[in-house]
Amino acid sequence: MATPDNKTADTDENIFIGKGDETVWLTLALANRHGLVTGATGTGKTVSLQVMAEGFARAGVSVFAADIKGDLSGISEVGEAKDFIVKRAGEMGLTFQPDQFSTVFWDVFGEQGHPVRATVTEMGPLLLSRMLDLNDVQEGVLNVAFRVADENGLALIDMKDIRALLDAIVPDTTKKGADADDPLAPIRKAAQGYGNVTRATVGTIQRQLLVLENQGGTKFFGEPALSLKDFMKTDRDGRGMVNILVADKLMQSPRLYATFLLWMLSELFEELPEAGDLPKPKMVFFFDEAHLLFNDAPKALMDKIEQVVRLIRSKGVGVYFVTQNPIDVPDKVLAQLGNRVQHALRAFTPRDQKAVTAAAQTFRPNPKLDTARVIMELGKGEALVSFLEGGGTPAMVERVMVRPPSARIGPITPEERKVIMDNSPVKGKYDTAIDAESAYEILQKRVAGMAAPADGSDGGTGGGILGQIGSIVGTIFGTNVSRGRMSTGQIIARSVTRSVTNKVVGGAVADLGKSMGGSIGGSVGRALVRGALGGLLRR
């Protein structure tokens, strides 16, 4: 193993984490085997997370971290040479050198960072239905809605789009007989062709959407949608960008958080090519307070996380969970986390005792340590650490003092955040929402078009006659006016009556003849004007 320098202790292959009886490094080539950072509140988990994030950034690896309390934001500012920091660095043989790292802040609510958005179409019926905790029947109806939208060119971008679409596929029980007066009849018929879509089922889905909206879903769904490539960048010095998701408010909305996580991980997995074993990851994700993710998450989220943790390694991505107790993480996920940092746990309750035992059993034993006892004795900043080594096997657990971060410890001020936002490499790209024409607007237009008078009576003087002209034009040219759109008579009436306003119908015939003859063209147009129009006026 390469000898670390006396300033950062990092090498091209390793990140220096801490020192005890032995010096402990995290091997970059094995960092995509994922990891876990656990410990009671106030024992130093966030500092350990920051130390690891700094090491990855120095190595040119992009970092994404969900920041619950705002403490991680300090990584964007120069560290302070406080006495306890300098002392700890000296005890480890380091020369403390203040540093800061290029940081981009993200916020689903767009308040303390760049907005994070996805479209409903990108989310897809499977993820959306599972996130909404729908049953099989409700999930089937949502799949029908997405299929009908695809076949009818209805883009699903935001919440009002999916709501309008669900309303459109519900059978209209207020109308009986022919569908001629229902502009949405083709859509309803198409939906029923895939199975029975009932109003009760759609109502349940709408209520679940309301829950999501109340948690801020209206801000999450929309455009411009996030491009995950903006996460995977380096700065001008070749260091990895540190992307911080401001999650203090977001974690109060567990369903919205679950939605974001599901979408982000699935999109990342789908977009990135297979990379095999790389000398260092392309990107590393840290999810602080992971117990909030697992506690109220639907089963589908658990399954998705398990799948991603197992498979995304080959895409060059490492996933690290940060939480209080190891038992907060499901066993199937826990088994995939090879790199472990365990801070102190307190065994005051039976659940705490179970957590201590579980944590101790997950480490490779060290004959020098009583792991279960040491876990309860660790001081602030101390940790039991076991990283993968050599052939990917866990190293024996070591008791170490975690090195001090080079950047600031603790949150930044609103003024400092504003400066960073103003100089962000993605400034202006996501900050303004775009409400493009999509399913909601298209469906509204269809309904509005069908509600307008079909005889052209809204076209002013001569509108009724012009409506009849439109019908004749449609007959001659085989125009088949689709339901929900303005009739040909209305189109001609609105266009032509602008030139005949304030004229009597008889005096306007000549001007109208020229206009019709020119617009329709050739002998057919002139014959229409001389014959059909003349006949109408003689009635």
Distances in whole angstroms, Cα of residue 338 to Cα of each of 32, 302, 362, 380: 9, 19, 10, 23
Q: Check residue 533 and give its pLDDT.
A: 35
Q: What is the pLDDT of residues 417-433, one digit of tens each?
A: 999 999 999 999 999 99
Within a 13 Å sphere around the CA of 533, how many CA atoms are in the beta-carbon half?
A: 25
Q: Is 307 a residue whose pLDDT tops 80?
A: yes
Q: Is 300 a residue whose pLDDT tops 90?
A: no
Q: What six digits make up the tokens of 390?
A: 């050599």
Q: Is 370 a residue whose pLDDT tops 50?
A: yes
Could you give the CA distance from residue 15 to residue 26 in angstroms, rounded to a whole number? 5
More confident residue, 307 or 2: 307
Q: What percent of the chain has pLDDT over 90?
A: 50
- Sheet of strand 103-107, all strands in order from the earlier edge strand to the far edge: 23-27, 14-20, 398-402, 382-386, 339-342, 35-38, 317-323, 283-287, 62-67, 242-246, 103-107, 114-115
What average pLDDT does this structure show over 171-200?
A: 79
Helix H or strand E encompassing 51: helix 45-58
More confident residue, 462 or 227: 227
Q: Is 180 a residue whose pLDDT tops 80?
A: no
Could you give the CA distance from residue 163 to residue 185 in angstroms, rounded to a whole number? 17
What average pLDDT does this structure show over 121-144?
A: 88
DSSP 139-168: HHHHHHHHHHHHHTT----SHHHHHHHHHH
Q: Check residue 198 and give its pLDDT.
A: 92
Backbone angles phi, psi at 386, to 5 degrees: -145, 115
Could you give the CA distance from residue 427 to residue 443 in angstroms, rounded to a whole number? 34
What average pLDDT does this structure show over 271-293?
A: 87
Q: What is the pLDDT of residues 511-521, one digit of tens each?
A: 434 444 343 34
More confident residue, 68 or 396: 396
Residue 23 CB neighbours (<10 A) = 18
Q: What six digits make up the tokens of 483?
A: 């339901």
Q: Check residue 78 and give its pLDDT.
A: 96
Q: Is 98 a residue whose pLDDT tops 80?
A: yes
Q: Check residue 520 and give its pLDDT.
A: 37
Query: How does the average pLDDT of the chain come out, rounded?
Result: 80
DSSP 269-287: HHHSPP--S-SS-SEEEEE
Q: What is the pLDDT of residues 289-299, one digit of tens each?
A: 777 777 766 67
Asked if residue 286 lies in contact with residue 34, where contact means CB atoms within 8 angstroms, the answer is: no
Q: What is the pLDDT of residues 8-29, one digit of tens each?
A: 678 889 999 999 998 999 999 9
The model's pTM:
0.78
Contacts (Cβ under 8 Å, ≥6 apart) of 392:
30, 33, 338
Q: What six digits make up the tokens of 93?
A: 């043989």
Q: Is 321 a residue whose pLDDT tops 80?
A: yes
